Structure 1
Amino acid sequence: MDRNFARALSLVLKHEGGWSDHPADPGGATMKGVTLANFRRYVKPNATKDDLRKITNEQGGPVYRRFYWDAVHGAELPDGVDYAVFDFAVNSEPGRAVKYLQGVVGVAEDGRIGPATLAAVRAKPHAAVIHDLCGRRMAFLRGLKTSGTFGKGWSSRVAGVRSEALKMAAPNTGEGTTSKPSIPKPFEPVSSSPVTTPAEPAKGLAYFLQLISKSIAALFSRKEH
């Protein structure tokens, strides 16, 4: 069930952008986040850099799905967590993204998602997993030798991933939202305790009735005399 693949891919592509062939980038020539090596592996075995430059979304989609989304079992991860892990995988390879996820949820960091990893991820608050994963990812990126060149862009990217991932998680879990205090309906008693009538008004009424009775009695008494 790939309910979030299209949405996650559109978000990834916003960060990946277009053509890149920076000499400091170990990934080499890249277009829309697809490296030349993966383009040759999944789309066109004899592809050149010019072929990669012309890659279409239809060609790139299967690469993202098979090499990244399926590699991290995106379809089986909770909403929001799937996107956070997927983007991490695209940026830093699937094996590393999975190991960091496993470190977050406290299972063996073998780089392969299985039943134990999935159970541990699902058992932990999804917002907490997203926050912790993005924090560890950023710490890893800051430690790279190329952080001086790409650090600002990476920081912006991870911040964006964190924000969008939390939005994806919130509708189904209520996480990342602030609960509002309940407001009593008009004329609805706030307390559930029984409402008692104060004693003083009853005493006051009796007092005035007594005064009226005494006044009437005094009036009749004067007439008789």
Structure 2
Amino acid sequence: MDRNFTRALALVLESEGGWSDKKADPGGATMKGVTLANFRRYVKPDAGKADLKKISDAQVATVYRRFYWDAVAGAELPDGIDYAVFDFAVNSGPGRAAKYLQAVLGVAQDGRIGPATLAAARAKPAGVVIDTLCDARLAFLERLPTWPTFGKGWGARVASVRAEALLISAQPAVPSQPSLRSPEPDVAPSAVAASRGHGVPPATPSAPPAKAAGIFALVALVLGSAAAWFAHLPCHLLGAFCQ
């Protein structure tokens, strides 16, 4: 679902890290998972490595949305499945991620997530799809010649994606998700603490209206009885005069 994009992107960026320019990595130079080729494609056509190193958060989000999220129809996939496919796409390409999802769902593997794929994804339990997709993804990575170099990190990533995707499927994101690392609202500390239920003792509850009315009635009765007794004091002292 599109409401999960911010949450999914934050998780992907935790796995992607910062600057990387390893010869063994087929993706080449990357910053926060954005390759130089994609940076040139979506942000700055004549960009160099120095430009890529200074990529902004907004530019990162633009690349990930256009090249990966939209490519796998992340806005239309069920909660949790959207993140699992999205991360797979970032790590191994949108086309491959789509085909593996289609294989799991038992539909034609054309690498394009359309109505048939979406209908099949919605018809199966999200947890089953996520688990099966992560198993297939891990098996694919283990067959790669670069597994000895990157296998430990890839394995940990797939395990993390599985756990987070299952969590998202059970607890979808709120539609109005804030941007990454949004600052704390500019309010007084006491107000923040009160909103979170920490650091501020609860207020002493006032007596319910009905209870208060009962107390007042009792007091009035006592006072009335006392007044009546004093009014008849001569009778109490000299009973004969009150016959």
TM-score, structure 1 normalization: 0.75
User: Which SS does the other structure have where 1:151 is aligned?
Assistant: helix
Report the alpha carbon displacement of residue 155 of structure 1 after superposing the two structures with TM: 0.3
Q: Quick one: which amino acid aligns to residue 142 of structure 1? A: E
Report the alpha carbon displacement of residue 56 of structure 1 after superposing the two structures with TM: 1.2
Aligned to 2:159: 159
Q: Distance in 2 between matches of 1:149 and 1:55?
A: 27
Q: Distance in 1 between matches of 2:31 and 2:57?
A: 11
Q: Distance in 1 between matches of 2:31 and 2:104?
A: 31
Q: Distance in 1 between matches of 2:74 and 2:98?
A: 11
Q: Distance in 2 between matches of 1:53 and 1:62?
A: 16
Report the alpha carbon displacement of residue 2 of structure 1 after superposing the two structures with TM: 1.6
Q: Distance in 1 between matches of 2:43 and 2:149?
A: 30
Report the alpha carbon displacement of residue 171 of structure 1 after superposing the two structures with TM: 3.2
Instruction: State the structure with bigger RCO (CA 8 A, min sep 6), 1 or 2.
Output: 2
User: Which SS does the other structure have where 2:72 is aligned?
Assistant: coil
Aligned to 1:26: 26
Aligned to 2:74: 74
User: Which SS does the other structure have where 1:70 is aligned?
Assistant: helix
User: Which SS does the other structure have where 2:60 is aligned?
Assistant: helix
Q: Quick one: which amino acid aligns to residue 118 of structure 1? A: L
Q: Quick one: which amino acid aligns to residue 167 of structure 2? A: K
Q: Distance in 2 between matches of 1:136 and 1:113?
A: 18
Alignment map for 1:64-143 (pairs within 5 Å): 64-143=64-143
Aligned to 1:177: none
Q: Deviations over 1:110-130 (max 9, x none)?
A: 000111000001101100000
Q: Which runs of 5+ in 2 are unaligned?
A: 173-243
State the superposition RMSD in angstroms.
0.8
Q: Distance in 1 between matches of 2:170 and 2:42?
A: 35
Aligned to 1:63: 63
Report the alpha carbon displacement of residue 58 of structure 1 after superposing the two structures with TM: 1.0
TM-score, structure 2 normalization: 0.70
Q: Distance in 2 between matches of 1:3 and 1:26?
A: 32
Q: Deviations over 1:167-199 (max 9, x none)?
A: 000136xxxxxxxxxxxxxxxxxxxxxxxxxxx
Percent identity among equivalent residues?
73
Aligned to 2:199: none
Aligned to 1:187: none
Aligned to 1:51: 51
Q: Which runs of 5+ in 1 are unaligned?
A: 173-225
Q: Distance in 2 between matches of 1:2 and 1:101?
A: 18
Moved over 3 A (4+): none
Residue-pair matches, total: 172
Aligned to 2:11: 11
Q: Deviations over 1:137-186 (max 9, x none)?
A: 000000000000000000000000000000000136xxxxxxxxxxxxxx
User: Which SS does the other structure have where 1:74 is aligned?
Assistant: coil
User: Which SS does the other structure have where 1:4 is aligned?
Assistant: helix
